[in-house]
Amino acid sequence: MTSTDEDLGQVPAEGDPARERGPRLAPRIAAWVLIVSWVSSAFAVVAFGERESSVDDLMAAIAGGEVTEVTVAGGLEDHWRGSAPIQLRWREHGIRYVAEAIQVRGPKAHHRPTSSGGWVEVRSDQRPRFRGEVEDFLTRGGGEIDIDRSEDWHRSGHFTGSWGWEIPEWLSGWGLLNWVLTLVVLVSGAQPWRATRWAWFWLIGAGWMIVAPLYLLIGGPTGLARPVAPSNRLTGGWAFLISLLVGSVAQTIAINTFH
């Protein structure tokens, strides 16, 4: 049997700062830790994630001197003929991009010319086909690149899609954990500011990567930005309607960020 502070007569008296600070300190610390975790995961998306792009965008960046190194996975081995999928990865302005194409060697099939020279053929899977060697094709519009061969085909199951980004599964799990813990704070904490619990729930569900940290910051858990009239709060019904718009806008922002 364990002894508690109450058993020992050590419960702080009513009005004692220690009593008022105790119950509020842990939720505030948890909120700040979650905010740091959300911000860190956002940086991790940029550091470890990849944005889907196109071969045309890559060739334009090479011609403009913005890209000088391309990592290639897949494709045809030397002296092989036929066709094979190929994945191209590169960095531009600090962001990693990925594009897929089909490399072809052998008799020409139906094809169309491109503005950069050479030709591509677009099939039902929307992956362009190019003939010859990767470096020769990518530099037809000008520029020089270094080719780095890799066996790592990221879309083999290690990456998952999220709002225009391809991110590692561990990073997707990190975001899910942040989301769940934020909901725990919402459900178990004091009445939130600016919106009811249901209202915050709908808003967080619609744009979780943006709204969840916002809730933690100004929704009451951190104690920052206390509203002048705490009783004036957004209700769940209105929040549900707003969430339909917020979800669309948040997704559009995320998809077009750094593009």
Q: What is the C-alpha to C-alpha distance for residues 35 and 246, in angstroms, rounded to an integer?
A: 20
Residue 205, C-beta contacts closer than 8 angstroms, at least 6 positions apart: 243
So what's the pLDDT on residue 256? 62
Cα distance between residue 215 and residue 151, in whole Å: 42
The residue among 2 and 90 whose pLDDT is bigger is: 90
> Scanning the structure block, which residue is given the tokens 């302005």?
93
Q: Which of 249, 242, 234 is nearest to 192 (CA)?
A: 234
Q: Give long-range contacts, CB 8 A cutoff, 24+ apart: 129-133.
A: 129/83, 129/101, 129/102, 129/103, 129/104, 130/55, 130/101, 130/102, 130/103, 130/104, 131/104, 131/105, 132/105
pTM, rounded to two decimals? 0.69
- Greater confidence (259 vs 189) lies with 189
Domain map (residue ranges) of the chain: 27-47+163-256, 50-156
Handedness of CA 149, 153, 158, 162 (dihedral sign): positive
Mean pLDDT of 169-179: 90
